[in-house]
Structure formats: C-alpha cells, structure tokens
Amino acid sequence: MSAPYPFTAIVAQQDMKLALLIAAVDPGVGGVLIMGDRGTGKSTAIRALAALLPKIPVVAHCPYNCDPERPPGGHCDACKKGADGPIKTTKMGIPVVDLPLGATEDRVIGALDIERALHAGEKAFEPGLLARAHRGFLYIDEVNLLEDHIVDALLDVAASGENVVEREGLSVRHQAKFVLVGSGNPEEGELRPQLLDRFGLSVDVATPQDIKSRVEIVRLRDSYEQDRDGFAKRWRRKESAQRRLIEQARERVESIVTPDGVLEFAAGLCLKLGTDGLRGELTLLRAGRALAALEKQDVLTISHVRSVAPMVLRHRLRRDPLDESGSESRIERALESMDAA
C-alpha cells in the first residue's frame, strides 16, 4: 500500500475540511454530506482524514472491531466467548469503508455465511460492511444515486449505532457506530428530502476559481504521484501537528462549558429559520463545541455557533425547491437579524 494523500496537503476546501474535522472530534454530530462538483477531492479528503487519525486498539481478529477497553457486556458474541482468557489486542488504522454503488443488502448489513452453512451445516452470521465500518467512516460516493432501500437501512443504523439483523433465520445484533459520509453531485439528481436532515453537517464544495489555487492543486498532485512516500514524508510534520490537534480536541470537547446565552442564541436562530425538531439545535451546539475544542478554547461562544451555523442548518431548512436565493443566504440573513435584535 502506498501512502495516501496527506489531509493537510488538500488545497482550499476549508468548509469540507472543517466539517470532517468536527466529525472526527465528535462523531456524535452525525454524518457529513458533501455535495458539489466532480473531482474536487471529496473522497481524497475522507481517506486522508482516516489516515491522519490515531490508530485505535481493537480486539485481535474481531470482525466487529471491538474495543478492548469496553466492559465485556459491550462486546460482540465472538469476543465474549473468548473473554475467559486474556483478550488479545492489536492496533488498527481508522477503518474507511467504501460502499460501492452496486453493493447488495446482504453485503451491507450482513447475511448467512454460505461457506460455513454449506460445509459444516451451521448457521453462522457473516458480518457486512456495517460491521467493518464500526468505529470508523462509512463513505458513500454518489449517495443520491444509491437505492432507497439501502439508504434507509444505513440511516437507521447510523442513527441508532446498532445493526439488527433478522433474516434467513438469523437473529443478530451488533454495534455499528460510524460516521456516515455521503457525497454527490446535485446536477445528477437530488437526495430525497426526507434523508437530508439525517446528516449532521452538510457542505457544498466547488473548485477554486483563482489561478494560484488551481496551479497548487496540480503541482501538489503531480509531486505526490511521482513519489508518494517521499511526498508523505515531506508533509509528515504538518500531519502530526494536525493529529495532535484532533487528539487534544477530543479530550477537551467533553468539558467545554456552554453558557446560557449561547443556548438561547442557538434556540433563537433555529426558531427564526423555522427548522423542524430539536436535532438542528443539538447539532448546532455539538458542532460548536467541537469547533471550540479545535480552537483550544474552554467555553462555547456565539461566534463558534455562527461559524458552524451554515453547515449545520442549510440542509434542514424547509425547502422551497425554486427559491433562487438558497439556504445559505437565508441563514446569513437570520444571523444578521439576530445581531440587530
């Protein structure tokens, strides 16, 4: 395996990088939806982020990437069975699981293990992609083209963190906590409106329009392709600085103080924009806290909430498909009027 493209070497695309970093600091914000032009480095960014994140300890050979630290009750059946003896642990990179467009439901949620059924005649469960993505990322390119029944299954698991399989006489449940990252091109058809607000954050990506950034993109990509390992080595220092930042932010994020004024601001903003339900508000606070942690601060401020408001709220607005102005500017206007008040 050659070295992946470094995260810090991605040119421009600040919104996308920030959204992914927030999801890395606090996976609880929900998935990230990235919509935009082709070839803007969406999948590169996700792979790069996963390579950047610190390795995680897992129970050796566990198909569900069980965490050795968790109490035995939280383990999958396979690990529980072996729990009498000492658990063997090993470290693995954060998994990034691609969901290919043609994947069958069997492969996604898991199914009867045919081989064992044929050979030994026993009914065994063969974990699917959801199990492999546990504690990592599940990446779906062209999420807007995915079959609806697969999307439904995915979103349900992503929300509950648990995969429940009831089929072919099997009855299995296992943990599947992952950050769902979907990407797509809006010109190819839109995502079902009902699915939009299941994503925590949503960003638009576009190609930079200035010569300098574009030259930079080609130049970096080119030197990466000529010597991948050497390129990775040159970026190592930046990468480890970024990794430390994420690690520290993860420790810090739990203890960030949320003043009442900020709570009111978030609630007021959501009220003004008429977003449905509480999910918007909660995500606003969580994403804001993750941002504060990334900025090495201890208190959530209104300015943090303001910075994350577009990516948290833009896909949650009651959508008028023909409104030219777009959600972004509606959020801008709402933020401005909050200032005036």
Partner 1 sequence: MSTVLGPAQWTAAEAAVTAFSVAPHALGGIWLRSPPGPVRTLFLERVDEQRPDLNRRKLPLHIQENRLLGGIDLTRTLASGAVHWEQGLLAQSDRGIITLAMAERASRQIVAHLCSALDTGVLKVAREGLNQTVPAAFGVVAMDEGIETERPEQALTERLALRVDLTDVSIHDAIACEIEGNSIAHARKNWQQVTLPPALLEALVATTIALGINSPRALILASRLTKILAALELRDTAEEDHLNRAITLSLVHRATRLPEAPPEASTEEQPEPPEQPPDPGDTEASAEPELTPPIDAIIEAAVASIPAGLLASLKQSSASRGRSTAGGKSGARQRHKQRGRPIGSQPGDPRRGDRLNLMATLRAAAPWQGLRRRERNASPAQGLLVKPSDFRVTRFRYQRESTTIFVVDASGSAAMHRMAEAKGAVELLLADCYSRRDNVALIAFRGEQAELLLPPTRSLVRAKKALAALPGGGGTPLAHALEMTTLLAEQAHRDGATPTAVFLTDGVANIALDGTPGRQLAKEEALRIARQFAAMGYRALVIDASPRAQPRAQELAGALGGDYLLMPRADASLLRDIVSPAGAVS
Say whether residue 153 binds partner 1 (CB under 8 A): no
Applying CB under 8 A, among 114, 159, 241, 271 the residue interacting with partner 1 is 114
The reply to whether 336 sits near partner 1 by the rule CB under 8 A is no
Candidate ranges 201-209, 255-263, 300-308, 310-318; the one touching partner 1 (CB under 8 A): 201-209
| Euclidean distance between CA atoms 137 and 330, whole angstroms | 31
Q: By CB under 8 A, what part of segment 227-246 binds partner 1?
A: none
| Torsion sign over Cα 333, 335, 338, 340 | negative
Span 19-58, contacts to partner 1 by CB under 8 A: 37-41, 43
Residue 152 binds partner 1, judged by CB under 8 A: no
Closer CB to partner 1, residue 191 or residue 266? 191
114 by Cβ neighbours in 10 Å (0-12 / 13-18 / 19+) ranks as: exposed
What is the distance of C-alpha 303 from the center of its chain? 23
Nearer Cβ to partner 1, position 139 or 265?
139
Is residue 15 close enough to count as binding partner 1 by CB under 8 A?
no
Minimum CB–partner distance for residue 42 and partner 1 (Å): 11
| Catalytic residue list | 279
Give yes or no for residue 14 binding partner 1 (CB under 8 A): no
| Rounded Cα gap, residues 306 and 293, in angstroms | 15
Judged by CB under 8 A, does residue 129 bind partner 1? Answer: yes
x/- string (CB under 8 A) for partner 1, residues 294-323?
--------------------------xxx-
- Smallest gap from residue 250 Cβ to partner 1 (A): 29
Look-up of token digits 């198909």: 63
Only segment of 111-119, 244-252, 297-305, 309-317 that touches partner 1 (CB under 8 A) = 111-119
Give the length of the chain.
341
Among 86, 169, 260, 341, binds partner 1 (CB under 8 A): 169
SS3 assignment for 96-112: EEECCCCCCHHHHHCEE
**Left (φ > 0), alpha (ψ -120 to 50) or beta: where does 140 sit?**
beta
CA distance 292 to 295: 5
Size of the site for partner 1 (CB under 8 A): 58
| Residues whose CB falls within 8 Å of the CB of residue 45, separated by 6 or more in sequence, listed in order | 7, 10, 13, 16, 17, 20
Residue 46, both tokens? 């996700």
Q: Let me know the angle formed at the C-alpha of 282 by 280 and 287, rounded to the nearest 5 degrees.
A: 90
> What does the binding site for partner 1 look like in residue numbers (CB under 8 A)?
37-41, 43, 98-104, 106-107, 111-115, 117-119, 121, 123, 126, 129, 141-142, 145, 147, 149, 168-169, 185-190, 192, 206-207, 209, 211, 214-215, 217-219, 221-222, 225-226, 320-322, 324
